[in-house]
Amino acid sequence: MSYIDDYSLQLNREVSNIPKFVADMIILNAGNIVNEVKRRWIIGKSVDGGIIAEYRSEEYRQYKIGINPQAKGFVDLHDTGSLADLLTVRKAGNLFEIYSTDSKFEKIGKKYGFEEFGLSSEEQEQLFAEIYDFVVESIMNKLWR
């Protein structure tokens, strides 16, 4: 068997491990993923790029501006901080989900949409670009060591 055949076999073996490697990378980056969601919430930004919502009460809006002026009076999904503090990433079948173990998770998800607990398209692109770069570098390192 030639060295090209050896590299081909090793490359095929590494490629077959990519899904597991990507899954491991997502779990290893769970803290960064959660921080992206928290960062977006604190400024009242929705996963779709707009605002999460507006408060119905002007009095409560003014109260929230006093607590968190960064959200400029828009819904920021941050009151006690427990919803954000208890965010986590878990694997659900072939997918991953970001959820909170806080008791308000279901209520907030139903009210504002469970998608608010996810990454925006731009955040997903950035995450997968970083994972892609790491996967390619790892495969190349294994092939050429």
> Is 71 inside a domain boundary?
no
Joined together, the tokens standing for residue 46 give 């929705």
| Alpha-helical segments (H) within 46-113 | 58-67, 82-85, 105-112
- Residue recorded with tokens 């469970």: 114
> Is 13 inside a domain boundary?
yes
Task: Give the model confidence (pLDDT) of 59-73 as tens digits.
Answer: 999 999 999 999 999
Residues of the domain holding 98: 3-43+80-143
> Is 95 inside a domain boundary?
yes
Residue 13 has, within 13 A of its CA and on its CB side, a CA count of 9
Rounded Cα distance between 133 and 47, Å, is 25
> Is 20 inside a domain boundary?
yes
Mean pLDDT computed over 33-60: 96
Percent of the chain beyond pLDDT 70? Answer: 98
> Is 8 inside a domain boundary?
yes
Percent of the chain beyond pLDDT 90? Answer: 68
pLDDT band at 18 (very low <50, low <70, confident <90, very high): confident
The answer, yes or no, to whether residue 49 has pLDDT greater than 70, is yes
> Is 126 inside a domain boundary?
yes
The answer, yes or no, to whether residue 123 has pLDDT greater than 80, is yes
Domain count, the chain: 1
Task: Give the per-residue pLDDT at 4.
Answer: 72
In angstroms, how far apart are the furthest CA atoms of the chain? 77
> Is 11 inside a domain boundary?
yes
> Is 107 inside a domain boundary?
yes
